[in-house]
């Protein structure tokens, strides 16, 4: 079901297209002289006001979407830069644990909970302990899927 806001935006876009076509037809004039007379002389001011109102709503929505995308892209870029900086500053042992997830192409792997590097990776929110034990008594650790995808795309971060 379409929300009221989306319905109004679509309706506004239809009006904008409709009035643009009406103006084009009126300017050409040879399609129907009555339309040209109606649009360009009889109700010119009213149609122009409605057209400008519709155009301004369309432009406002467009500018709002573009601004939102710019802010979102800037935020994602900042988060990505912070993540890259965080991974680059890891010690070799910590990078080794992350590389095991990539090498085995797994989101969950068992490790001994006595490894100090795992605690640091947990504190940096790069790994999450599931507190579940496998058959050998090792605890399963899960890597965030977004972090996993980023490390798969850019494995050089781990070297």
Q: Are residues 102 and 57 in the same domain?
A: no
Strands (E), the chain: 108-111, 127-133, 139-143
Q: Are residues 19 and 53 in the same domain?
A: yes
Q: Are residues 78 and 96 in the same domain?
A: no
Q: Are residues 18 and 67 in the same domain?
A: yes
| pLDDT, position 1 | 59
Which tokens in the block code for residue 38? 């109606």
User: Among residues 85, 107, 142, which one ends one of the domains?
Assistant: 85
| pLDDT, position 126 | 83
Domain with 27 in it: 4-85
User: Among residues 58, 85, 112, which one ends one of the domains?
Assistant: 85
pLDDT of the chain along its 159 residues, tens only?
A: 578 888 888 888 898 998 888 888 888 877 777 788 888 888 888 888 988 999 999 999 999 999 999 998 888 778 777 777 777 788 888 888 888 888 999 888 888 878 888 888 888 888 888 888 888 888 888 988 888 888 888 888 777
> In this structure, what CATH number is given to the domain that contains residue 133?
1.10.10.10
pTM of the model: 0.53
CA distances from 136 to 10, 69, 116, 117 (A): 59, 48, 19, 20
Q: Are residues 8 and 76 in the same domain?
A: yes
127-133 and 139-143 strand pairing = antiparallel
The span from the CA of 68 to the CA of 79, in Å, is: 16
Q: Within 10 A of 51 (CB to CB), how many other CB atoms are there?
A: 17
Q: Are residues 103 and 66 in the same domain?
A: no
Q: Are residues 95 and 65 in the same domain?
A: no
User: Among residues 52, 85, 118, which one ends one of the domains?
Assistant: 85
Dihedral of CA 143/146/147/148: which sign? positive
Give which of 88, 104, 92, 89 is closest to 140, Cα–Cα.
Answer: 104
């Amino acid at each position: 079901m379409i929300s009221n806001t989306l319905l109004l935006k679509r309706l506004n876009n239809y009006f904008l297209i409709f009035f643009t076509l009406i103006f084009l037809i009126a300017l050409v004039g040879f399609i129907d002289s009555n339309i040209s007379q109606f649009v360009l002389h009889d109700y010119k001011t009213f149609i122009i006001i409605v057209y400008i109102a519709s155009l301004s709503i369309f432009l406002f929505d467009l500018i709002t979407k573009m601004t939102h995308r710019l802010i979102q892209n800037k935020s994602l870029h900042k988060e990505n830069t912070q993540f890259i900086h965080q991974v680059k500053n890891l010690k070799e042992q910590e990078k080794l644990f992350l590389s095991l997830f990539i090498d085995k192409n797994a989101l969950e792997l068992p490790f001994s909970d006595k490894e100090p590097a795992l605690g640091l990776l947990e504190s940096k929110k790069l790994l999450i302990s599931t507190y579940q034990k496998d058959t050998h008594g090792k605890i399963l650790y899960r890597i965030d899927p977004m972090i996993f995808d980023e490390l798969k795309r850019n494995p050089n971060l781990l070297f």
